[in-house]
Amino acid sequence: MRILLLGFLAACDTSATIGDDTGGGGDTADTGENIGDETGDTADTADTADSGDTGTAEATVAWDVTGDYTDLVFSLVSINIGETLSMADIAEELPAAARIELNEPPPDDYLIAIPDVPGLYIAYFLGGLHEDDGDGKWDPDEQWYGVSTTITFYLDGVLTPDMIDAGYQAGWNALVIDGTGNNFGDPLAQPLPVLLNDELVLGGGHDDTVAATDRVTTLAASAFSSGVVPAALDVTDVSDAWTLTLSGEPPSSHFADVDGDGREEAVELALAYTNVGGSYGFDAGTDTELGFACLDGLPVVGWWFASSTDITELIYLSQAGVSLGWNAIEVTGSGTAFLTPEEAQSLTLSTTCQLGG
């Protein structure tokens, strides 16, 4: 291949971490106590909690689901809080719905003592949506597709006046996961989005360095490390207005560790080329490579983020503004920027649009 990918996405950082002040509400006002520093051990809570009859009692905690939740199951996931989040076990399972309500406190097994506040206990949870094999329960090999944008936590005992002034309340609380710390949400209206974006359309026009009679194809970034060009996901004539559709999970040959984080991603570029060899698809040995698709002079890629069996990994994606599945990303000199669907279809093919130059 004659295309050189120098430092491709070297400056890209698509991960995000939850700051120390996010766990359990951050620093309490003037008390010196940080609820979020506790890493309670819930390993002994193997039995699923029974929330009782949620249809006959008033809800005390609830989630509002957005997106397609067909065939998914809701879980109340117990988590450990420290420098990072980690899954503990599943406290409750319910069928997915547009609104999911619970009316019971968590079992005592989930409560851990808060140091320096005698008699006060806390339990941490995330609301999540996972695929299901039909048994209505999460299995370790089942993928998560949705996570609440709040940490749900339960306080049992007598709160100090400073904690009450800071916004904590006995019972269920919701902490917005945005890295700012003390930012409380409504425990009865917690957003729970389904994060999967199964299709992405890249499109736009071309400048005078690319002819309408040329072609445009998807090119997997894995080709730069392997030297082998995988079969294109889509190819079309440039014409006056072109579109390429990325749909569903790409084949394994399209995955590579393109950003050096130790994990493989599928990244697709829109490449304009002149067909020389006569085959409909792009032939790296004979066809003439022209340039890529840019937005305002910066190259744009389609990036597939796989789902995970660890719900906490979805937290990091949602903090970074990333969907599971396909995302349109502009590669800047200092990192990346995520594009709207309208921006992803406003690209320009040009020989001046190159990577790593």
Q: Do 91 and 238 have their domain in common?
A: no
In a domain, 7, yes or no: no
Does 83 lie in the same domain as 40? yes
CA distances for 325 relative to 73, 304, 330, 347, angstroms:
19, 5, 16, 21
Q: Does residue 227 share a domain with residue 162?
A: no
The number of beta carbons lying within 10 Å of the beta carbon of residue 299 is 23
pLDDT for residue 56:
52
pLDDT surpasses 90 at 37: no
Residue 240 lies in a domain: yes
pLDDT of residue 11: 31
The per-residue pLDDT of the chain, averaged, comes to 84
Report the number of distinct structural domains present in the chain: 2
pLDDT at residue 207 is higher than 90? yes
Statement to judge: residues 221 and 315 lie in one domain: yes
Q: Looking only at Cα atoms, what is the longest distance across the chain?
A: 78
- What letter represents residue 266's amino acid? A
- Domain final residue, candidates 160, 194, 228: 194
Q: State the first-to-last Cα distance of the chain, in angstroms, to the nearest integer.
A: 17
Query: Is residue 6 domain-resident?
Result: no
pLDDT of 213 strictly over 90? yes
Percent with pLDDT over 70 in the chain: 83
The answer to the question of residue 205 being in a domain is yes
270 and 315 in a single domain? The answer is yes
Q: Between these two residues, 11 and 295, which has the higher pLDDT value?
A: 295
Q: What backbone torsions phi and psi does residue 240 show, to the nearest 5 degrees?
A: -90, -30
Please count the other Cβ atoms lying within 10 Å of the Cβ belonging to residue 311: 25
Residue 263 lies in a domain: yes
Pair 287, 276: CB distance under 8 Å = yes
Query: pLDDT tens across 294-321, in order?
Result: 999 999 999 999 999 999 999 888 777 7
Taking only Cα atoms into account, the Rg of the chain, rounded to an integer number of angstroms, comes to: 24
Judge whether residue 333 has pLDDT over 90. Answer: no
Same domain, 91 and 230: no
Residues 205 and 66 reside in one and the same domain: no
pLDDT number for residue 179: 63
Model pLDDT for residues 95-144, shown as the tens digit of each residue? 999 999 999 999 999 999 999 899 999 999 999 999 999 999 999 999 99
CA distance 173 to 155: 8
The answer to whether residue 4 is domain-embedded is: no
Asked which of 194, 222, 250 is the last residue of a domain, the reply is: 194
Q: What residues make up the domain containing 322?
A: 197-349
Residue 281 and residue 202 share a domain: yes
Determine the pLDDT at residue 254: 97
Section 24-30 average pLDDT = 34
Mark whether 163 and 212 lie in a shared domain. no
Residues 156 and 284 in one domain: no
Label residue 181 by pLDDT band (50, 70, 90).
low
Q: What is the pLDDT of residue 22?
A: 33
Residue 34 has pLDDT above 70, yes or no: no
Q: Would 356 be classed as within a structural domain?
A: no
Residue 216 has pLDDT above 70, yes or no: yes
How does DSSP assign 125-174, residue by residue? EEEEEEE-SSSSS--TTPPEEEE-SEEEEEEESPPPHHHHHHT--SEEEE
Length of the chain: 357
From the list 73, 96, 87, 76, the residue with the least C-alpha distance to 142 is 73
Residue 46: pLDDT above 70? Answer: no
Residue 30: pLDDT band with limits 50, 70, 90: very low
219 and 119, same structural domain? Answer: no
Residue 9 has pLDDT above 50, yes or no: no
Structural contact between residues 206 and 350, judged by C-beta atoms closer than 8 angstroms: yes
- Domain membership of residue 179 (yes or no) is yes
246 with 312, same domain: the answer is yes
pLDDT at 5 over 50: no
CA 30/CA 25 separation, integer angstroms: 14
Position with higher pLDDT, 200 vs 40: 200
* Single residue among 194, 217, 237 that ends a domain in this structure: 194
State the DSSP string of 24-36: GGSB-TTT--BGG
